[in-house]
Amino acid sequence: MVHWTAEEKQLIASVWGKVSVEECGAEALARLLIVYPWTQRFFSNFGNLSSPTAIIGNPKVRAHGKKVLTSFGEAVKNLDNIKGTYSKLSELHCEKLHVDPENFRLLGDILVIVLAAHFGRDFTPACQFAWQKLVGVVAHALAHKYH
Amino acid sequence: MLTGEDKKLIQQVWGKLGGAEEEVGAEALWRMFHSYPPTKTYFPHFDLSQGSDQIRGHGKKVVAALGNAIKNLDNLSQALSELSNLHAYNLRVDPPRFSLQFLSQCLQVVLATRLGKEYTPEVHSAVDKFMSAVAAVLAEKYR
């Protein structure tokens, strides 16, 4: 089980409280597809992903980004049992979606950068630490059921 | 591969730092030590407390090297040749593609906090590619 200090929990909650799940989710997923274009392999039915502009404006990307970050919220609500929270999703990503877990780390790092751009100086080193830890734990949990 | 557009964006973004390069370097290092404690193992001889002179000094060095690389985007191998030797034979930092990824992440976080919306997906992509290219050159001579 992961140990979270009171400060880490507070930093995570306070950032999350100010996040627009829809905007940040869309932004993070779009950036994943732009910065690491090979990740587009999982989204061949999303339509036009031919340029950064197309990706950012793509409604399927926006919708899926929102879905992904909404799910991330479950981790924030269940910091003490992230593995359990993502057990089914982990199986799904392995058995149905066939996603290399390395992609979870990539998305996690991108989410941190999106938060940094959004919060500016308020995204302090302590904040970054808590969030890098969280995205790492989420990535680990999503990879946990792979076989 | 860095496209012409990538190179332009990288130079632009670096230009926007307007003299704050040293602070950016120090902050990136501090964030890296804070978020990825294993990176501290390479600096047992440093005072690693926040704001230490050594972190500032080293941040300045790192940023100067990156600045030099940015001026020589068409020939990174040559521009970073000395540093490549240093990392391979003296410093032997865990192959840069691991450690530099942490520095790259933290540098990007610092840039993002300072540039906000101006740290667009296109700029983000260009900087990420640049840092990957730097890491690849630094790792060239490892074995």
B42-56 residue pLDDT tens: 898 999 998 999 999
Give the Cα separation of B78 and B143 in Å (integer).
18
The count of other CB atoms within 10 Å of the CB of residue A26 is 24
Write the CATH number for A36: 1.10.490.10
Burial, A29: exposed, middle or buried (Cβ in 10 Å; 0-12, 13-18, 19+)?
buried
Tell me the residue type at A1. M
If you ran DSSP here, which 8-state letter would residue A46 be given? G
More confident residue, B141 or A49: A49
The shortest C-alpha distance from B90 to chain A (Å) reads 30
Is pLDDT above 90 for B96?
no
Smallest CA–CA distance from B30 into chain A, residue: A125
Mean of the pLDDT values across residues B128-135? Answer: 94
Q: Is A130 on the interface with B (CB under 8 A)?
A: no
Please give the pLDDT value at position A29: 98
Residue A99 placed within a domain: yes
Is pLDDT above 90 for B11?
yes
Residue A1 placed within a domain: no
The shortest C-alpha distance from B136 to chain A (Å) reads 17
Mean of the pLDDT values across residues B85-104? Answer: 83
Cα angle B17, B129, A47; round to 5: 115
Please give the pLDDT value at position B121: 98
Please give the pLDDT value at position B42: 87
Please give the pLDDT value at position B98: 67
Q: Residue A98: left if φ>0, alpha if ψ -120 to 50, beta else—which one?
A: left
Is pLDDT above 90 for B99?
no
If you ran DSSP here, which 8-state letter would residue A28 be given? H
Please give the pLDDT value at position B47: 94
Structural domain including A101 reads 6-143
Cβ–Cβ below 8 Å for B115 and A117: yes
pLDDT tens, N- to C-terminus, chain A (147 residues): 789 999 999 999 999 999 999 999 999 999 999 999 999 999 999 999 999 999 999 999 999 999 999 999 999 999 999 999 999 999 999 989 989 898 999 999 999 999 999 999 999 999 999 999 999 999 999 999 988
> How many CB pairs below 8 A link A and B?
63
Q: Residue A79: left if φ>0, alpha if ψ -120 to 50, beta else—which one?
A: alpha
Cβ–Cβ below 8 Å for A109 and B114: no
What is the complex's ipTM, to 2 decimals? 0.85
Is pLDDT above 70 for B101?
yes
Count of domains for chain A: 1
Could you tell me if A58 and A52 are in contact, meaning their C-beta atoms sit under 8 angstroms apart? no
The count of other CB atoms within 10 Å of the CB of residue A41 is 11
Mean of the pLDDT values across residues B50-79? Answer: 94
> Any idea which residue has 């972190």 for tokens?
B55
Smallest CA–CA distance from A51 into chain B, residue: B122
Cβ–Cβ below 8 Å for B113 and A121: yes
Is pLDDT above 90 for B142?
no
Residues from B in contact with A at Cβ < 8 Å: 27, 30-31, 34-36, 105-106, 108-110, 112-117, 119, 121-122, 124-125, 128
Which residues of chain A neighbour B28 with C-beta distances below 8 Å? none
Give the Cα separation of B76 and A145 in Å (integer).
41
Cβ–Cβ below 8 Å for B121 and A132: no
Give the Cα separation of B34 and B45 in Å (integer).
17
Cβ–Cβ below 8 Å for A113 and B108: yes
* Total-model pTM: 0.90
The shortest C-alpha distance from A77 to chain B (Å) reads 22
Could you tell me if A104 and A115 are in contact, meaning their C-beta atoms sit under 8 angstroms apart? no
What ranges do the domains of chain B cover? 4-139
Is pLDDT above 90 for B60?
yes
Give the Cα separation of A32 and A54 in Å (integer).
14
Q: Which residues of B35-53 are buried (b: 16+ CB within 10 A; e: fewer)?
A: bbeebeeeeeebebeeeee
> Any idea which residue has 């990392």 for tokens?
B87
**What CATH number labels B4-139?**
1.10.490.10
- Of the listed ranges A6-10, B17-21, B110-114, the one predicted with least confidence: B17-21
pLDDT band at residue B95, thresholds of 50, 70 and 90? Answer: confident
Cβ–Cβ below 8 Å for B36 and A132: yes
Mutation for testing the A interface, residue in B31, B103, B123 having most A CBs under 10 Å: B31
Cβ–Cβ below 8 Å for B30 and A109: no
pLDDT band at residue B97, thresholds of 50, 70 and 90? Answer: low
A106, A127, A132, B14 from A123: Cα distances, Å: 19, 6, 12, 21
Q: Is A128 on the interface with B (CB under 8 A)?
A: yes
